[in-house]
Amino acid sequence: MIACRFVSFLLPLAAFAGDPPLLDRAYQRMYNFDFNGARALIDQHVNERPQDPLGYSTRAAALVFQELDRLSILQTDFFLDDDRIAEKKKLRPDPQTRDAFYWAARQAQERADAILLKNPNDTSALFANSLSWGLTTDYAAFVEKRQLGSLNYAKTSHAFAKRLIAVDKNYGDAYLTTGLSEYILGSLPFFVKWFIKFDDTKGSKQVAVENLKFAAKNGRYLGPFARILLAVAALREKKKPEARDWLHGLVRDYPENPLLKHELERLR
């Protein structure tokens, strides 16, 4: 699970004089589980701006979340059961989706790296790298069942997020990644923590929640995802009313998403 930019939840569509930018609309479609609609908008953005790494990392995001949905990994039951997360039972990932995802992630990373060679403080390139490596973490951990191996990708995503925050401390999407790093480290067995290190991360679940709340309030692209993670975190801590509040807001904002409705109904 893993990586971010912010205004107030998803950037309000009314904030734009005309149509919102293509990627903003793509994320809106993605959170409504309209993956085909999201990909069409992403393809248009990539065609218009082929050197923009964020277009490719967003394409990778759409592919990952569609595959996680197909494999029934996005339900809260999965994330509440540590045995299910850790189990090595082989899944059947779609080979075309796998190839398309890794290709999109590589395209994002290559373009972002090229930009950062010229300008190490380019916030869009730092975000694209953090996001693409975070998505690689998700795919490796949940689809390919390489949980320990995926931590190396998570550390790379975390490093880019920290660089991004150092350049712009208000870049909200970056805080989703740092919040996840805190939560992951805080959930690992004690002996594993001797071998897994994230820079400036202590494994505090309180800090994790604070970072995710900052992301939820200010995230342009990943704000809604931060809200979903906060609902999951609340359920893991047996705070059902808090989880219900997060899900209620998400259902209101993304009424076409059947999974959010299902999860809210279960809590009721």
Q: What is the pLDDT of residue 87?
A: 60
- Compute how many other C-beta atoms are within 10 angstroms of the C-beta atom of residue 47: 10
Amino acid 84: pLDDT: 56
163-173: per-residue pLDDT in tens? 999 999 999 99
**DSSP track, 19-38:** SPPHHHHHHHHHHTT-HHHH
Q: Which two tokens stand for residue 259?
A: 């999974």
Q: How far apart are CA 260 and CA 95, in angstroms?
A: 27
CATH fourth-level superfamily of 13-267: Tetratricopeptide repeat domain (1.25.40.10)
Predicted local distance difference test score (pLDDT) of residue 19: 65
Specify whether the CB–CB gap between 159 and 143 falls below 8 A: no
What's the distance, CA 250 to chain centroid?
16
Burial of 238 (0-12, 13-18, 19+ CB in 10 A): exposed
Q: CB–CB of 141/150 below 8 Å?
A: yes
| pLDDT number for residue 146 | 86
Q: Which residues of the chain have pLDDT under 70?
A: 1-19, 76-90, 186-203
Domain spans of the chain? 13-267
- Residue 190's pLDDT is 43
Residues near 149 by beta carbon (within 8 Å), at least 6 away in sequence: 140
pLDDT confidence of residue 82: 56
Instruction: List helix spans (H) across the chain.
Output: 22-31, 35-48, 53-70, 76-80, 82-86, 95-118, 123-138, 147-167, 174-187, 190-193, 205-218, 223-236, 240-253, 258-267
